[in-house]
Amino acid sequence: SHGNKEVFSCRGILLAVQWFWDRGHKDITVFVPSWRKEQPRPDVLITDQHILRELEKKKIVVFTPSRRVGGKRVVCYDDRFIVKLAHESDGVVVSNDTYRDLQSERPEWKKFIEERLLMYSFVNDKY
C-alpha cells in the first residue's frame, strides 16, 4: 500500500520492518514472490529493488517460489507460507489480507488469524 497501488514499493517494506525493529522485534520475516527480483515491466512497476536484496542478505526477506510455464508466470500460494510460519513460531501476521480461505482450511488457523492479524496503513512514509 506504500506505493498507492500504482507501484510495488520496496521502501514500504523497509519502513514496516524498521517500525517493528525499533520496538525490539528482531525475529522478522517478510515473504515476497521471487518474481519481484526480476526486471520491472511498465505495467508492473517496482521501486527500490535494491532494498529487497539488502533485506534478503540480512535474512529478513524470503522469496517464495515462482516459475515460468509456457511463457506464463506460475506463483505459489504465499499466504500459506505466511500463516504457517506465524502460527508455528507464535508470531503475528502483518497484512491487510483477511485470509478467509485459510481460516476454513485449518481450524487452528482460524482462531490464530482472528487473534494475530495486525492490519496497517501508511500516511506518506509513516507506517
Sequence-ordered alpha helix ranges (H) in 1-127: 10-22, 49-57, 78-88, 100-105, 107-116
**What are φ and ψ of residue 13, in 5° steps?**
-65, -45
Q: Do 43 and 84 reside in the same domain of the chain?
A: no
pLDDT of residue 32: 94
The answer to whether the predicted template modeling score (pTM) of the entire model surpasses 0.75 is yes
CA atoms of 99 and 79, how far apart (whole Å): 7
pLDDT of residue 5: 81
Domain containing residue 42:
1-68
Q: Do 90 and 48 reside in the same domain of the chain?
A: no
Domain for residue 12, yes or no? yes
pLDDT of residue 52: 96
Percent of the chain beyond pLDDT 90? 67
Domain for residue 95, yes or no? yes
pLDDT higher for 41 or 125? 125
Domain for residue 45, yes or no? yes
CB-based contacts of 114: which residues, under 8 Å, 6+ apart?
A: 103
pLDDT of residue 42: 74
Mean pLDDT of 24-38: 92
- CATH code for the domain of 60: 3.40.50.11980
CB-based contacts of 84: which residues, under 8 Å, 6+ apart?
A: none
Could you report the per-residue pLDDT of 35-59, keeping only the tens digit for each? Answer: 888 777 777 788 899 999 999 999 9
- At residue 92 the predicted structure's pLDDT band, cuts being 50, 70 and 90, is very high
Q: Do 62 and 115 reside in the same domain of the chain?
A: no
Interhelix angle for 49-57 vs 10-22, to 10°? 40
Q: Do 8 and 32 reside in the same domain of the chain?
A: yes
Q: Do 59 and 82 reside in the same domain of the chain?
A: no
CA atoms of 41 and 37, how far apart (whole Å): 12
- According to DSSP, the β-strands at 30-33 and 61-64 are parallel
Q: Do 2 and 42 reside in the same domain of the chain?
A: yes
Task: Answer for the pair 50, 19: CB distance below 8 angstroms, yes or no.
Answer: no
pLDDT of residue 31: 95
| Through-space distance between the first and last CA atoms of the chain, rounded to whole angstroms | 10
Q: Do 61 and 85 reside in the same domain of the chain?
A: no
Q: Do 1 and 59 reside in the same domain of the chain?
A: yes
